[in-house]
Amino acid sequence: MSEMTSNAATVTVLADGPLQVEGRIRILAADGTLIKECEQVFLCRCGQSGNKPFCDGTHRKVGFSGD
């Protein structure tokens, strides 16, 4: 495995919730347009967010299970 660099992002799967991404992050649209640049973001895993690809907490309302 190669050595991690300071530019590496870390993705944590939160139990029954979103993906927590930390590090230097650039989120691009399908056409390459920059949507967001940040150091932490929560990405939807349940598919029900009203603000995709970002988590808006809907997973709690719909009873999402990450199993």
- pLDDT > 50? residue 58: yes
Does any domain span residue 22?
A: yes
Does any domain span residue 62?
A: no
- pLDDT > 50? residue 1: no
Instruction: Record the tokens describing residue 5, joined without a space.
Output: 């660099």
Does any domain span residue 67?
A: no
Residue 59 parent element (H or E): helix 58-62
Q: Which of 28, 25, 30, 13 lies closest to 65 in space, CA to CA?
A: 13
pLDDT tens-digit series, residues 16-53: 999 999 999 999 999 999 999 999 999 999 999 999 99
**Full residue range of the structural domain in which residue 14 is found:** 10-57
Does any domain span residue 30?
A: yes
Higher pLDDT, 4 or 54: 54
Structurally, the chain folds into a number of domains equal to: 1
- Do residues 47 and 18 touch, judged by C-beta distance below 8 A? no
Does any domain span residue 27?
A: yes
